[in-house]
Amino acid sequence: MRNIFISTILMTLFICCDSNENVKQINSFPVTTSIRCQNKISIDSVYMSYPILKIDGNYCCIADLATREYFFHLYSYPSFKYVKSFGAIGNGSNELVMLTDFDFHDGVVTALCGADYTIKLFNINPPQSPKVIKPQKKNDYTAICNGCDNTFYLYSNNGDKRILRIDTCGKVISEGLKAESLKKDYPRMTSNYIWQSRIRRKDDVVVVPTLFGDIIDIANNNLEPIMRIEGPIGEPCVKENSFKGYTSYMLQYQTYIDAVLSKQIYTLFMCEDLSKYPNGKERNSIRVFDYQGNPIKELLLEKDIEASSFYVDESTKKIYVLVPDSDKPIWVYEM
């Protein structure tokens, strides 16, 4: 297999199954068409090294996971005018030592603190001291989703189950998605690091894509597995090289989820041939699936785009893509 770097940014997806019986393999799309950026928007902010965009109502929240000052930057939507920054680095009640992941729903920014794996809820209007939730089950959690029903979903690749659902007191309500099923079905993906994931939930569906794999798991609210979607690339071809204690991988995949819209799944897929770097970009596209994992269409983007997240606005039929290295980082597309 060729050396391909794949960055898959999913806007809406599903959760997986613990057996091969419910795996749906996607190899092509019934409709493929090209779309091009119609507008690029500047935003007033400090330099962001690793930003992630999420939009909720009249606000856009951009979190910089590698900030030197504030983790969160709030903008009006759809004008993208700067409003404020919050969540400074520190040990105070309104601060974070480290940000691992976040969610943004109903005016609340849900932050997963990487230092002690606590959860902080920042209410943006009116601003107030964040509520702190401490999961009763200790683990090295790497992703979070606000269930919007006084529950939260946490991901960890350590332990028997990959996903936990907890209440506002931190008590575990349910657990699901066996970690061993992935390692058994995809033996080439040997490192736990590869199985890091993101989580989103909507319409009683929980979606968990692997961070470094073209693989999506779908479950219900109780984390009972429904289906696994395996994309065109599938399991990455991993080649481990020992060099001063580090492990390198020939193929890498990244998957992010932002929303599930009208029972459809939107994913941003970026493909690069590392053997041709820096001119190896091959295919960037937005993939659309239904809730059953059936492919609907593929929207081809420019080859030179390098995005970190995106948002689909169904009411205006526009797609907003965050391109950190661009002078105007908000790229707008028409659906």
CATH of residue 91's domain is 2.120.10.30
Return the closest-CA partner of residue 309 out of 198, 193, 144. Answer: 198
User: Do 103 and 110 form a contact (C-beta atoms < 8 A)?
Assistant: yes
**pLDDT higher than 90, residue 218:** no
Rounded-to-10 torsion of CA 236, 241, 244, 248:
-20
**Residue 139 pLDDT:** 86
The rounded distance, in Å, linking the Cα atoms of 335 and 330 is: 16
3-state DSSP assignment of residue 255: coil
Beta strands in 249-315 (DSSP E): 252-254, 260-261, 264-273, 281-290, 295-300, 309-313
End-to-end CA distance of the chain: 33
**Is 11 exposed, middle or buried, given 0-12, 13-18 or 19+ CB atoms closer than 10 A?**
buried
* 15 or 48, which is more confident: 48
Segments forming the whole domain that contains residue 169: 4-334
**pLDDT higher than 70, residue 46:** no
**pLDDT higher than 50, residue 334:** yes
**pLDDT higher than 60, residue 37:** yes
pLDDT bracket for residue 8 (50, 70, 90): very low
The rounded distance, in Å, linking the Cα atoms of 298 and 285 is: 6
pLDDT bracket for residue 87 (50, 70, 90): very high
* 331 or 230, which is more confident: 331
**Residue 212 pLDDT:** 60
**pLDDT higher than 60, residue 251:** no
131-133 and 143-146: which strand pairing? unpaired
- 114-123 mean pLDDT: 90
**pLDDT higher than 50, residue 305:** yes
pLDDT bracket for residue 110 (50, 70, 90): very high
**pLDDT higher than 50, residue 237:** no
Place of tokens 């109780």: 222
- Report the domain count for the chain: 1
The rounded distance, in Å, linking the Cα atoms of 145 and 291 is: 19
Element (H, E) at 181: helix 179-185
The rounded distance, in Å, linking the Cα atoms of 237 and 131 is: 43
**Residue 63 pLDDT:** 92
pLDDT bracket for residue 13 (50, 70, 90): very low
Q: What's the chain's average pLDDT?
A: 78
**Residue 12 pLDDT:** 40
The pLDDT tens digits of the residues spanning 173-217 come to 999 887 766 666 666 555 555 556 778 887 788 888 776 656 778
**Is 169 exposed, middle or buried, given 0-12, 13-18 or 19+ CB atoms closer than 10 A?**
exposed
The amino acid sitting at 286 is I
- 42-54 mean pLDDT: 77
